[in-house]
A and B are shown apart, each in its own frame.
Chain A
Amino acid sequence: MGLGSKSQLLSKIATNDKHGENSPYFDGWKAYDKDPFHPTKNPQGIIQMGLAENQLCFDLVEEWIRNNPKASICTPEGVNQFRDVAIFQDYHGLPEFRNAVARFMSKIRGGRVTFDPDRILMSGGATGANELIMFCLADPGDAFLVPTPYYPAFNRDLSWRTGIQIIPFHTDSSNNFKITREALEAAYNKAQQENINVKGLIITNPSNPLGCTVDTETLKSLVSFINEKSIHLVCDEIYSATVFSSPSFVSVSEVIQEMECNRDLIHIVYSLSKDMGFPGFRVGIVYSYNDGVVSCGRKMSSFGLVSSQTQHLLAAMLSDEKFMGKYLAESSRRLGKRFNIFTEGVEKVGITCLPSNAGLFCWMNLRSLLKEKTFEGEMQLWRVIINDVKLNVSPGSSFHCVEPGWFRVCFANMDEETVEIALKRIREFVGKETEKPVKVKRWQRNLRLSFSSRRFDETVMSPHGIMSPHSPIPHSPLVKAT
C-alpha cells in the first residue's frame, strides 16, 4: 500500500491548479515585479494599478499610534499587558476586540444597525473568512452562485480546499452591471435541472471590481429570493467604509430589519484590509445570524485566529469613537477626491468608467480601444497597456466579465504625483491610439492638484520596500490580486 509514483506523494489539492495562481493574468504582476515604477530610481517603470490597497490615510493612523502608546503591548506604557495578551489564544477573541469591531461595523452603517459581539468570529483575513463560511455552509460538491464580474481569488477561497463549485451568473453593461432577478433565477434553475445542490449566493457589496454599492431594491430582491429557496446569502462587505459618494452604503443587515426573512440564512464577511488599509494584520471577520454557524465557525477559527497583539492594538483604536469618526469621514473624502482626479483625468481623453461610488478602483471602459471586440482583443490591449503604456491594470476577463474591454484600475495605492504620471501616460496612449488631438471634455472641475510634500517613501511606493529589496523569492501574485 505504498505511495508508488511521485504524483501520489501529495494530495490532489496540493497538486491541482485550483489555487488559481497559474492563471495567465499574473503576467501583469510578473511584468511589474521585473520593472516596478519608482519616482527617482525607475521613473519609466510599470505603475502598479492592479492592487486594491488603501494607502491614503496612514498619516492619521500613525498619529493615533504615537498618541496612544498603551495600545501597544511593547511600549513602556503598555508592556504591563504583555503577558496577558501573549498567552491569550481563546478563539472567542479578546472581548474588547469583539466589542470594538461590532461597534465599528455599526458606525460604518450609520448606527442604523447594531451587531452582537458574540456573533463575531475571527479568521485569517477575508480570505480565511470566505473559506471558513463555505466550510460551515456547504459540503464538497455543493454549489454557490456568484454574480460576475467577481474577485478572481474567490475561486481559491470558496472552492480550493472546500470542494465547493462556483456557479457564476452574469451581469453586463446594459444596466450598469446590476444583478437581476432573472439572471439569478435562470442560473439557479439550470443548476437544479443539472442536479447540482445550490447552497447559497455570495455577493460583494460594495462590489469588487465594479466599485458600486448594491441598491436597496436589489438587496431586498436577493433576500427574498434566498428566503424562498431556503439557501444562504453571504455578503462580503469588506469595502463598506470605502464609499465616497451617494448613494450611501446599505448593508444586508439593514435590509433584513425591514423584511420577513429567515435569519439563519444571513452571513456577513468583513475585514480591515480595505477600509483601514491593514491587509498585513490579517483581520478577517465572519458575522452570522445563524447560531449553528457561530458555534461551528468559532471552533474553525482556530485555524486562523487574529494575533492577540493585533487584536489588542485594534481594540484600542476602533473603540476610540472620536478618532474613528474622524477617520471614516476623512478617508471617504480623500477617496472621493482621488476618484475624481482620476476619472476626470481619463475623461479628458474620452475614457469613461462605470459610474461608481465606492471601492479603491474604477471599472474602466476601454471597449473603443479594442482592435477586435473579443477576449483575445482584450488580452492584446492589456499587453499593450502593460508593456507600452507601463501600467499594470486588471483585465475584465480575469474577473469573469462576459463583455470584453473592461478593466479594473486601482487608484488608492499610490501618491498623487504617481496618479498624475499614470494619467499622463494614459493621455499619451489614447492620443496615439485615436489619432485625434486630445479633446478637452465639456465640463471640467477645477482640478486642484495639491502637490503634497514629496514623501517618496520606498515603503509606500513599492511592495518590496525595505523588507525584501532583492528577494529572490517571487512575490505571490495572488497576494496582490485583491
Chain B
Amino acid sequence: MKMRLLSRKATCNTHGQDSSYFLGWQEYEKNPYDEVLNPKGIIQMGLAENQLSFDFLESWLAKNPDVAAFKRDGKSIFPELALFQDYHGLPAFKKALVDFMAEIRGNKVTFDPNHIVLTAGATSANETLMFCLAEPGEAFLLPTPYYPGFDRDLKWRPGVEIVPIQCTSSNNFQITEAALQQAYQEAEKRNLRVKGVLVTNPSNPLGTTMSRNELNLLIDFISDKDMHLISDEIYSGTVFSSPGFVSVMEILNENNSLKDQVWDRVHVVYSLSKDLGLPGFRVGAIYSNNDTVIDAARKMSSFGVVSSQTQYLLSAMLSDKKFTRNYITQNQKRLKRRQRMLISGLQKAGISCLESNAGLFCWVDMRHLLQSNTFEAEMELWKKIVYDVRLNISPGSSCHCTEPGWFRVCFANMSEQTLELAMKRLKAFVVELTANGCSQSRTEFSSWNSKRKSLPKWVFRLSSRDREQEEP
C-alpha cells in the first residue's frame, strides 16, 4: 500500500480557500485599483479593514518616543522584552487590554486580567477554543450569515462541524428560538453532538449589534442544553450608533441566577484587528470565567504567543486612558460618517441595505437585481460586479446566507474619493442593467476584456503570484 505522503489535513479543502469569497480577492490582486496608476482597476470592497483612524495612532507615537526606542524611564528594556516569552503575557499589557475592553462596554462590565489568554489574532483564539471545548466530529451552531473564515478556523484542524442557525431577512436576520431549535434538531439528525453556539456580536457580515432579546434567548438555550456560548466581540469598538453594544457578559452580570448556571460556559473572543485597525500585529484574546478553559487555552497559546515587542507597544498605548477614550469616540464618529456615505451612494443607485449600527461594512440588498431568486443568479451578478463594475464585494453565499441576493460591502478600507468612485460605477451599472437587461452586460464584459489587453504589463506583474488575503 503506497502511503499517503502528506496528512489528510494538508490535502483536503477544509481550509475553505477555494470559496468564491477568496476568488474575488484573486481577481482584485490581478487588477487592483490605484487612483493614479490604475484608475480603471478593481476597487477592493471585500476587505473588512479599519483604515480610518491611523492618524490618531501615529500622533500618539510621536508623543511617546520612549516606547519606540524600547525604553522605559530612559532605560533600555530591549533584552527583557526580547527574552519575554511567558505565555501568561505581559501583565501591563493584559491590564491595559481588559481596561480597553471595559471602556468599550461603557464600563458596565469589568474584566479580570487573570482570565484573559493572548493569542495570535482572533483566528487563533477561535481555533484554540474549539480545541478546548470540542472533540473532532462534534459540532457548534452558528447563525447565518457568518464570516467565511470560521469554516477554516473551526473545521480544519480541530475537526469541528458547523451546523447553521438559519436567519432570514423576514426579521432582519435576527436569531429566533425556532431557528435555534431547528438547528439543534438538524444536528441530532446528523448524529452530531453539539458542544455550543458561536455568535459574532456585532455581526460580521450584518454590521448589527445583537439585541438583548437575542442574547437572553441564547443564554436560555445554552443553559437548557448544557452547552457553551462563544461570543466573538471583535467588532465591539466599531459600534457607531444606537442601539449601543450589549455584551453577553453584561447580560450575565444582570442576572445572578442565570449567571450561576452558565458562568463557566460563556466565553468571549476579542482582537485589536478591527477596533484599532492593527490586523498585522496579531493580537487576539480569549476571555473566560472558566479556569479550566483558561488554563488549557493558555497552554495552547504557546503555539501563537503575541510578540513581546507588540505587547509592549500596545500596553503603553492602551494604558493612556485619555488617548483610548478619545480614540474610541473619534473612530466611531468616522465610521458612522463613512457608513452614511456608502448608504447614500447605494440609495442613489436604488439599492438599500440592512439597517446597521456597527462594523466596517454594510449588508447590501441586491435581490431586485437578480435574474432569478437563485444562488446561480447571485454568482452571475457577482461576476458582473467584479469584472464589469470592477468592485470586489462579497457574495452572501460565501457567508452561507440562505437567501440569494445579499452582498457584504466594506467601507472603511479606502479613501472617501475611492468610495465615491465606487458608488458612481455602481450607479452607472444599475442604470444600464435595469434599462437594458442582460445583453448590455455581456457587451460590457467583452469590452472590458479588450480594455484589459491595453493595460500595461506591470499591472499583471503586480500579482503574478497568489497573494490571498488573510482575514476579510
Contacts and interface: CB of A to CB of B under 8 A. Distances in A.
Contact of B88 (A135, A307, A473): A473
Contacts of B193: 1
B121 to A, nearest CB: 7
A29 B90 CA distance: 19
B307 A466 contact: no
Given A79-B61, A90-B467, A309-B309, A304 B304 contact: yes
Contact of B82 (A82, A142, A279, A299): A279
A273 interface: yes
Interface in A79-108: 79, 82-83, 85-92
B84 interface: yes
Interface in B71-95: 72, 76-88, 90-92
Contact of A459 (B77, B227, B265): B77
Interface stretch (B32-40, B125-133, B344-352, B442-450): B125-133
Contacts of A4: 226
Interface in A457-482: 457, 459-460, 463, 465-468, 471-473, 475-476, 478-479
A139 interface: yes
Contacts of B51: 83, 87
Interface stretch (A14-22, A201-209, A213-221, A389-397): A14-22
A10 B309 contact: no
A125 B157 contact: no
Interface stretch (B96-104, B271-279, B318-326): B271-279
A61 B78 contact: yes
Given A1-B193, A124-B305, A303-B127, A479 B68 contact: no
Interface stretch (B3-11, B354-362, B396-404, B423-431): B3-11
Interface in A114-146: 118, 123-125, 127-128, 131, 135-139, 142
B306 interface: yes
A281 B309 contact: yes
Contact of B6 (A78, A293, A478): A293
B302 A478 contact: yes
B80 A89 contact: no
A217 to B, nearest CB: 27
Given A136-B7, A304-B303, A280 B309 contact: yes
A285 to B, nearest CB: 14
With a 10 A CB-CB cut-off, give which of A124, A161, A273, A306 has the most chain B CB atoms: A124
A89 B133 contact: no
Nearest to B78: A62
A151 interface: no
Interface string A288-310: 00101100110110111111111
A75 interface: yes
A11 interface: yes
With a 10 A CB-CB cut-off, give which of B83, B87, B131, B135 has the most chain A CB atoms: B83
A264 B298 CA distance: 34
A1 B9 CA distance: 28
A449 interface: no
A466 B133 CA distance: 35
B296 A10 contact: yes
Nearest to A156: B302
A2 interface: yes
B17 interface: yes
A292 B6 contact: yes
A282 B307 contact: yes
Nearest to A163: B136
A460 B83 CA distance: 9
A253 interface: no
Interface string B38-66: 00000000000101001001100110010
A90 B120 contact: no
Given A79-B58, A86-B54, A307-B281, A281 B307 contact: yes
Interface size class of A (residues with CB under 8 A): 35 or more
B225 interface: yes
B84 A280 contact: yes
A228 to B, nearest CB: 13
Interface size class of B (residues with CB under 8 A): 35 or more
A313 B465 CA distance: 25
Contact of B469 (A10, A90, A123, A279): A90
Given A55-B83, A156-B302, A264-B5, A87 B280 contact: yes
Given A55-B79, A280-B309, A82 B10 contact: no
Given A87-B51, A264-B5, A302-B152, A124 B120 contact: yes
B198 to A, nearest CB: 15
Contacts of B210: none
Contacts of B80: 457, 459-460, 465-467
B114 interface: yes
Given A10-B133, A282-B85, A476-B88, A62 B302 contact: no
Nearest to A273: B85
With a 10 A CB-CB cut-off, give which of B82, B194, B265, B277 has the most chain A CB atoms: B82
B92 to A, nearest CB: 7
A391 to B, nearest CB: 20
A139 B159 CA distance: 12
B188 interface: yes
A9 to B, nearest CB: 7
Contacts of B78: 58, 61-62, 65
A48 to B, nearest CB: 12
A19 B302 CA distance: 10
Given A161-B157, A278-B82, A310 B313 contact: no
Contacts of B70: 62, 65
B278 to A, nearest CB: 5
A72 interface: yes
Nearest to B89: A473
B7 A135 contact: yes
A125 B444 CA distance: 50
Contacts of A118: 465
B305 A125 contact: yes
B195 interface: yes
Contact of B304 (A21, A128, A465): A128
Given A89-B273, A310-B309, A131 B303 contact: yes
B104 to A, nearest CB: 19
With a 10 A CB-CB cut-off, give which of A4, A278, A297 has the most chain B CB atoms: A278
A9 B132 CA distance: 9
Given A11-B133, A65-B78, A479-B85, A1 B188 contact: yes
Given A65-B78, A136-B9, A302 B470 contact: yes
Interface in A298-356: 299-300, 302-310, 313
Contacts of B68: 69, 72, 74-75, 78
Interface of A: 1-4, 9-15, 19, 21, 53, 55, 58, 61-62, 65-66, 69, 72, 74-76, 78-79, 82-83, 85-92, 118, 123-125, 127-128, 131, 135-139, 142, 156, 161, 197, 199, 230, 264-265, 273, 277-282, 290, 292-293, 296-297, 299-300, 302-310, 313, 457, 459-460, 463, 465-468, 471-473, 475-476, 478-479
Given A75-B68, A156-B302, A292-B11, 11 more contacts: A2-B225, A66-B69, A86-B57, A92-B466, A135-B157, A302-B470, A463-B86, A467-B80, A472-B114, A473-B91, A475-B86
30 contacts: A9-B228, A9-B264, A11-B133, A14-B133, A21-B299, A61-B82, A65-B69, A72-B68, A83-B58, A89-B282, A125-B305, A127-B302, A135-B7, A135-B9, A139-B9, A161-B303, A273-B85, A279-B82, A290-B6, A292-B6, A303-B303, A306-B307, A307-B280, A307-B306, A310-B310, A465-B80, A465-B84, A466-B80, A475-B88, A476-B298
Q: Which 7 A-B pairs have the closest CB atoms?
A: A308-B280, A280-B308, A74-B68, A2-B226, A14-B296, A307-B307, A459-B80
Interface of B: 3, 5-11, 15, 17, 49, 51, 54, 57-58, 61-62, 65, 67-70, 72, 76-88, 90-92, 114, 120-121, 123-124, 127, 131-135, 152, 156-157, 188, 193-195, 225-228, 264-265, 273, 277-282, 290, 292-293, 296-300, 302-310, 313, 465-471
